[in-house]
Amino acid sequence: TDFGYEQVPVDEKVKRVGEVFHSVAQRYDLMNDLMSLGIHRMWKRFTVETAAARPGWRILDLAGGTGDLAARFARIVGDTGEVVLCDINASMLQVGRSRLIDEGLIGNIRYVQGNAERLPYPDNHFDLITIAFGLRNVTDKNAALASMLRVLKPGGKLLVLEFSHPTSAGFQKLYDFYSFKALPFMGRMVANDAESYRYLAESIRMHPDQETLKGMMETTGFERCDYFNLTGGIVALHRGYKL
Ligand code: SAM
């Protein structure tokens, strides 16, 4: 079948994460707005500002899902640039692709089904890589970071936008209540799917905190690594360069 994008073999283990996103794909954008009270739009806007992308750039939006970041970058890079929206999940890619086409974004976006752990690109290929709310779901994060470093051009940068750990203990308590009680409840009400949202809360708790992720990026070989806490550390934007 020609889905209109390239397909790369995916192993069994990562398929399971795939099934979670397959079941939420259709409602993904609505749920994002509901669960974050719309704040994910600000986190993404901040990411695009920090990216400081230029016309002509080649950008990889990894685990790009329904294309929030890819859409913004496609407008910036113009006809001479290219944005690759890469995701392991065909359903998310399909929703993203039809949405971006509806927005009139055609010509400079490619849709690629692929695994972050083994990126199907040559060395030194991209000016910028973004991965928003995706690294958390990747089984072998170190392999994924190494793969990103490899395909990044020297001078290029990686931005990882991801849930992280609230910086104050009081806020952490409130947040735990929200993610372990309110989120699965909303998941059941809106998407008839509490399980996927329980998985979400669980995966957020397990994800490395700010300093740990920064250390992982440094160990991989990224340089000048730093991060910005957003919304009290609920989310952090990590930045690192290939020099
Ligand atoms: N970046 C989008 C956003 O910010 O709205 C989508 C984020 S969504 C929470 C996470 C995405 O990561 C899903 O679309 C999922 O299919 C994708 N994903 C999970 N594991 C992956 C992997 N190993 N390689 C590539 N994409 C992956």
**The one-letter amino acid at 59:** I
For residue range 37-82, list pLDDT tens digits in order.
899 999 999 999 999 999 999 999 999 999 999 999 999 999 999 9
Angle at 72 between CA 108 and CA 27, to 5 degrees: 105
User: Distances in Å between the alpha carbon of 204 and those of 3, 72, 160, 236?
Assistant: 32, 26, 14, 12
pLDDT band at residue 235, thresholds of 50, 70 and 90? very high
87 is in an annotated binding site: yes
Mean pLDDT of 91-120: 95
Place of tokens 């390239």: 6
Place of tokens 């609230």: 166
Q: Say which residues have a Cβ less than 8 Å from residue 130's Cβ, sequence separation at least 6.
A: 47, 51, 59, 60, 61, 62, 69, 73, 158, 159, 160, 161
Mean pLDDT of 81-91: 96
Q: How far apart are CA 178 and CA 188, in angstroms?
A: 14
For residue range 156-183, list pLDDT tens digits in order.
999 999 999 999 999 999 998 988 888 8
Q: Indicate which residue's Cα is closest to atom 10 of ligand 1.
A: 134
pTM value?
A: 0.91
CA–centroid distance, 145 to ligand 1, in Å, is 14
CA–centroid distance, 212 to ligand 1, in Å, is 21
Between 90 and 7, the higher pLDDT residue: 90
66 is in an annotated binding site: yes
CA–centroid distance, 169 to ligand 1, in Å, is 29
- Nearest ligand 1 atom, CA 200: 9
Q: Which helix (H) or strand (E) holds 152?
A: strand 152-163
**The CATH number of the domain covering residues in 6-166+210-241:** 3.40.50.150
**158's tokens:** 């990686």
* pLDDT at res. 1: 37
Residues paired with residue 133 on neighbouring β-strands, in sequence order? none
pLDDT band at residue 2, thresholds of 50, 70 and 90? very low
* pLDDT at res. 202: 87
ipTM tops 0.95: yes
pLDDT band at residue 116, thresholds of 50, 70 and 90? very high
Find out whether the beta carbon of 31 lies less than 6 Å from any atom of ligand 1.
Answer: no
Q: How far apart are CA 183 and CA 210, in angstroms?
A: 23
Find out whether the beta carbon of 143 lies less than 6 Å from any atom of ligand 1.
Answer: no
- Nearest ligand 1 atom, CA 117: 23
For residue range 135-150, list pLDDT tens digits in order.
999 999 999 999 999 9
Going from N- to C-terminal start, the domains of the chain cover 6-166+210-241
* pLDDT at res. 241: 98
Strand 152-163 and strand 126-132: the pairing is parallel
Res 34 pLDDT > 90: no
Mutate to test the pocket of ligand 1, among 137, 147, 179 (most ligand atoms within 8 A of CB): 137
Percentage with pLDDT > 90 across the chain: 72
**131's tokens:** 């991965």
Res 233 pLDDT > 70: yes
For residue range 179-205, list pLDDT tens digits in order.
888 888 888 887 787 887 888 888 888
**243's tokens:** 């020099």
Phi/psi for 124 (5° steps) reads: 55, 50
* pLDDT at res. 89: 94
Mean pLDDT score of the chain: 91
- Nearest ligand 1 atom, CA 44: 4
